[in-house]
Structures are given as structure tokens and as C-alpha cells.
Chain A
């Protein structure tokens, strides 16, 4: 596809369950971002990859959150032992990379996670 694809689109998890959210970035995009968006708020940064390297994970809220991008393309965000406060929309974005900067990121539609 032409854009960033995320799956599933919706996920309902029971509290304590582990979940895995998938992101297919635009082909050839070096940079990949994960964001968390609570209802009525702007997106909050979680983590950043440059190819397969996770260069910034400062936004991950706890050690229950783990992200990987083993081959530098598809990425998975995993949340272990989900809790109700994890309920949010999880957004993935990808972009090219330029030494000169100024590259725009393109976002997927997001995965809406509801923990019950």
C-alpha cells in the first residue's frame, strides 16, 4: 500500500493480557515512530527507530512496553500485562531520513486499544 498500515485497527484486551500491535511503514522509510494518544489529548511520543536501531525509547511509560523492528521495516509494539490506563490509540509514523533534515512523517490510522 501507499501509506502506513497498522493492525489490528481495534483491539479489546482483558486486564493482564499481553497485546502486540503491528506497524507496516512506507517502503524505504528509515525512521519509524510510535505514539500513544489518550482520548482528547495530542499524541505522546513513545519510541523511535532508525532502521532496526531503537535510538530513543524515552517515552515508553513502563517496562511493560516493548518495541522492536528487527529487519528495519515492520515494527511491533508489545504491551505486557495490560492495565486500564493503557487504553488509548497507538499511532505509528514513518519518514525518510536526510542529513539536511526537514523530512515529514506520515502517520497510520492507529490501533485503538481498550483494556477491560
Chain B
């Protein structure tokens, strides 16, 4: 079972920031928070991941709370092409060969 909880759907106006929340209250100290998205008929696309600190790359920013029990993925200027299902995943380090456990995710609709 997925160890994360996400809202099933969200809307965002084009050009605005999209803030996607994720709860992972049972996260362990060695578990990373990963975000992937899946656009219709494509494979999941890696977005960003982090352990404790906030992270930013060319796609998004990841804000992790100090207690690490929740996080927020921020798409700073959403476009229509960002419409997708967004998955928040927690996963331990590679020593355990743990797989990525996908939940139902959040279906983000970016509206013109």
C-alpha cells in the first residue's frame, strides 16, 4: 500500500502556481519523498525528490515540512501541458532495492 495521501483532484488556472500537497505521516528517517507525473498515454515522468531540505529544479520546487510528515510540490507557472496525474511516493534508500509504490495520485487540471 502507498504510504502517502493526496487529494484525488485539483484545478489550477494557467499561469498560476500549482501547489500539490502530500501527507506522509509515517515516513521513516531514511525515506526520500519523490514526485512523478503521468500525462495520458505516457510513462511516469520524474519531477523531483528530496530527503529533508527543500529542493528546486527546472521543473518544480519541493517543500518538505520540518517534521517531514508532509510536503508540497510547487509548479510555479502552470501551463496546459502540466495537466497530468501527479504521484507522491516515499521510498527508502537503494540498499533495500525498494520499489516505487504508486498510489492513486492527484489529477491536476490546468484551466485556460
Residues of A within 8 A of B (CB): 4, 31, 33, 35, 41-45, 48, 50, 55-56, 59, 91, 93, 95, 97-110
Contacts and interface: CB of A to CB of B under 8 A. Distances in A.
A101 B93 contact: yes
B32 A105 contact: no
B45 interface: yes
A30 to B, nearest CB: 8
B43 A42 contact: no
Contact of B43 (A55, A97, A107): A107
A43 B103 CA distance: 8
A103 B93 CA distance: 8
Nearest to B85: A42
Given A42-B87, A42-B105, A102 B93 contact: yes
Contacts of B94: 31, 95, 97-99, 101-103
A100 B94 CA distance: 7
A55 B73 CA distance: 32
A45 B51 CA distance: 23
B59 interface: no
A22 to B, nearest CB: 15
Contacts of A101: 30, 32, 92-95
A42 B104 contact: yes
A24 to B, nearest CB: 13
Given A97-B94, A101-B94, A43 B102 contact: yes
Interface in B28-48: 30, 32, 34, 36, 42-46
Instruction: Please give me the 6 A-B residue pairs with the lowest Cβ-Cβ distance, nearest first.
Output: A101-B93, A42-B102, A107-B43, A45-B99, A107-B44, A104-B46
